[in-house]
């Protein structure tokens, strides 16, 4: 059949871990439905591009990764951080434009929660951003650190924009202005998560006091 022939001609790429259409129990398991779902996965469920860079499946100008050559040369006696990777933006908006991403796939700022895991991750990203900016001769006080907010993010993998120096245009500078609906400053995000954590802790304490 034409469907079987088409499947044979499509080279199966690495699929995203979230792709499970053909295994969904709600979908009838007839041979042709299964074949169609498998083909949809093959064509549409592409892996996350930042996960691919982190894992080394596609090239990227890595400037920090635990165990990477540049890390071994620069780290000295400092401990490696296995949770994050940094690389230069392929289409920089400023003189320095670095992206710092978590190794584990985190969708975006909307999926972050006021937990030690996520708050600790953001702090690691902040500290690494400061180190990288200093290495390139920038004053961290005169730089921008932040995230684009869905649906204005272009890649569905949390990535911190680390920007230093002159912007390439007024439009590009506007993309990273704080307190806009499309962009959130890192410090503001950290403050918001900490506020949520305190509210949740207060609510739990009230419940514990009332039940005690």
Positions annotated as catalytic residues are 159
CA atoms within 13 A on the CB side of 33: 10
Q: What share of the chain is helix, strand, coil (3-state, %, to 5)?
A: 45, 15, 40
Structural tokens at position 18: 């979230």
What is the widest separation between alpha-carbon atoms in the chain? Answer: 69
Nearest to 190 by CA among 125, 141, 123: 123
The DSSP secondary structure of 13-57, one letter per residue, reads PPPPTT--GGG-TTS---HHHHHHHHHHHHHH-PPPHHHHHHHTS
CB-CB neighbours of 57 under 10 Å: 13
């Amino acid at each position: 059949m034409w469907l079987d022939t088409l499947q044979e001609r499509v080279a199966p790429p690495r699929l995203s871990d979230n792709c499970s259409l053909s295994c969904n129990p709600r979908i009838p398991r007839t041979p042709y439905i299964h074949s169609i779902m498998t083909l949809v996965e093959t064509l549409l469920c592409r892996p996350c591009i930042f996960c691919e860079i982190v894992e080394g499946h596609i090239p990227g100008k890595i400037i920090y990764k635990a165990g990477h050559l540049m890390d071994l040369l620069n780290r000295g006696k400092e401990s490696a951080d296995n949770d994050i990777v940094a690389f230069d933006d392929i289409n920089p908006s400023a003189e320095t434009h670095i992206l710092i991403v978590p190794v584990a796939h985190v969708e975006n700022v909307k999926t972050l929660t006021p937990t030690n895991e996520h708050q600790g991750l953001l702090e690691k990203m902040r500290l690494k951003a400061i180190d990288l900016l200093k290495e390139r001769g920038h004053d961290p006080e005169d730089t921008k650190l932040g995230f684009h907010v869905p649906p204005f993010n272009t890649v569905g993998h949390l990535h911190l924009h680390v920007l230093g120096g002159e912007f390439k245009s007024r439009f590009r500078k506007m993309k990273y202005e704080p307190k806009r609906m499309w962009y959130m400053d890192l410090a503001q995000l950290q403050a918001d998560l900490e506020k949520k954590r305190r509210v949740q802790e207060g609510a739990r304490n009230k419940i514990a006091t009332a039940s005690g």
